[in-house]
Structure 1
Amino acid sequence: MATSSVLRRALLYVPASSQKFMTKSLSLASDNITYDLEDSVTPANKQTARAQLRDHLSSLSNKPASIGELAVRINAVSTPYALDDLTTLASAPNLDAIVIPKVNSASDLSFVTDVIRHAAPQRHASDPTASPLKLIALIESARAVMDLRSICAASPYLSGLIFAAEDFALDLSITRTPSLAEFLYARSAIVTAARAYDLPSAIDLVCTSYKGPVGVKRLEEECQNGKEMGFNGKRELPILKSLFLMPTVFM
């Protein structure tokens, strides 16, 4: 089971296809930097981005003190890219966590766990001398919400849940509104499951309106609302604002 000391008030996503952005990320101060191999990387660039990220992580003598955790968002288990993502990066130095998109069932986490055990046995959770890789699951569908109990019990590496509101809305054919009322059930279920299974992180939905004074106010309101529901972090926030707002809200 993951330890409760993990702190992820903000997850900042950085496209692994951009060496410039990955280098820049090392100068930031954040609980979590997640290098993305999924949505921000086109199929034609998957292989190049994966190798570039491996070299980026290997080139670091140490993780910057200003960054709590370095993670990678792999491609979904249902795609032909996930296995290569895992076998290439599971043993990469300085990698702390793997973010798994589109987790629909326990079998998705079981697959990732089994690959880690074979590809990076030194990061195996049962080894008392190891520093196990942590898994963070993106909950994006009605099926996933209905299957939260088995998902939370599927892997000893699981360290958090993230609510992906836009994909969830697409799955249910609903429209996101400023009140977020349409997501109340799913958000409550995710927070409750994370607490019931003693997972350190329950990460709330991304804020889609953050520009200008009105956007900043909206971001603050969403963060406060998420905290009141039990979330202790927020995902994919704009770098300019998140580094200042999130640590204040999720203390």
Structure 2
Amino acid sequence: MTEGFRPRRTVLYMPSSNERALEKAKTLAVDALILDLEDAVAPDAKPQARLNAAAAVKSGEYGAKELTIRINGADTEWHADDLKAAAEAGPDAIVVPKVNSAQQVLDLVASFEAAGVPEHTKLWAMIESPQAILDAREILGASDRLTVAVLGTNDLVKELFVDHVPARTNLVTSLQLAVLAARATGTVILDGVYNDVKNEEGFLAEVEQGRQFGFDGKTIIHPGQIAPANEGFAPSEAAIENAKGLIEAFESSDGGVVTYNGKMVENLHVESAKRTLSIAAAIEALQA
């Protein structure tokens, strides 16, 4: 686990036009917020939403939460004003929808610099089209400023001409290609949203699927999804104890073959165990 790791188990979309929701978000146990100026905000509400998002970022009232602003795409009439407001607010990141090419990443980075976006403000790119999935490695590797990929599964479903189905069987290839690209480029990757907010069983299953596929966390749309996703993307107590025991067994060996709980232990297993402990420590520090 690299130094400076931030947990991003739960990343909540928050419509910036809703001032009451923005106030409530201060108390929610999420790792990060996406203050939305795009899909969740009606056209006539976008100017006020822009002001609200900037004020939230500058307020200093959200504790250790990572604060990002999702702006409207470069092909929209709101993009320039969104980017200007985000540059002045200086969030942890600016989330850009529908990033479909490496050249688009380079253009966005150039526009960030031209707009005076602070260096600490990173780019989060939304991967939400067949083209973006197929070119994900080039997109995610185009700039060091791009640090997080956000999967837009609703748009992906629409563009693939398919339906939302249990276990996302029609998206498995896309999900796995996106994770492969993220791992190949050292990029954090967040799973898409789960739409049926009343279906707790379905949400839990999708959290577990995302964790097993290798996602770092999940974007969510309702406060009721926070606790299950926080738990699902954190190492369990059993996993933490197993990691500690494995490392201890390996480090106390005399250089011969090492086994722990009946399984052979190699350096790669130790590295995975140390990663588990690093994640657990980062989550504990965030909660503190």
TM range (shorter): 0.7 to 0.9
- The corresponding residue for 1:19 is 19
Q: Structure 1: which 5+ runs fail to align? A: 125-131
DSSP 3-state at the match of 1:182: coil
- The corresponding residue for 2:200 is 216
Counterparts of 1:171 and 1:99, CA distance in 2: 20
Give the superposition deviation at 1:144.
0.7
DSSP 3-state at the match of 1:90: helix
Alignment counterpart, residue 225 of structure 1, candidates 209, 228, 237: 209
Number of aligned pairs? 233
Identity of aligned residues (%): 31
TM-score between both structures, scaled by the size of structure 2: 0.76
Bigger CA drift: 188-197 or 145-154?
Answer: 145-154
- The corresponding residue for 2:259 is none
Deviations 1:67-99 (A, max 9, x none): 420111111122121121111212315x11111
- The corresponding residue for 2:8 is 8
Q: Which ranges of 4 or more aligned residues in structure 1 deviate by more than 3 Å? A: none
Give the superposition deviation at 1:25.
1.2
The structure whose Rg is larger is 2
Q: Structure 2: which 5+ runs fail to align? A: 235-288
State the superposition RMSD in angstroms: 1.8
Structure showing greater relative contact order (alpha-carbon pairs closer than 8 Å, 6 or more residues apart): 1
The answer to whether 1:250 aligns with 2:239 is no
- The corresponding residue for 2:115 is 119
The answer to whether 1:191 aligns with 2:179 is yes
Contact 2:197–2:224 under 8 Å retained in 1: no
Counterparts of 1:79 and 1:3, CA distance in 2: 37
The answer to whether 1:152 aligns with 2:140 is yes
Give the superposition deviation at 1:3.
6.7
Residue identity opposite 2:41 in structure 1: V
Greater helix percent: which structure?
2
TM-score between both structures, scaled by the size of structure 1: 0.86
Give the superposition deviation at 1:120.
2.3
Deviations 1:2-41 (A, max 9, x none): 9760221111111111222112211222100111000111
- The corresponding residue for 1:48 is 48
Contact 2:96–2:123 under 8 Å retained in 1: yes
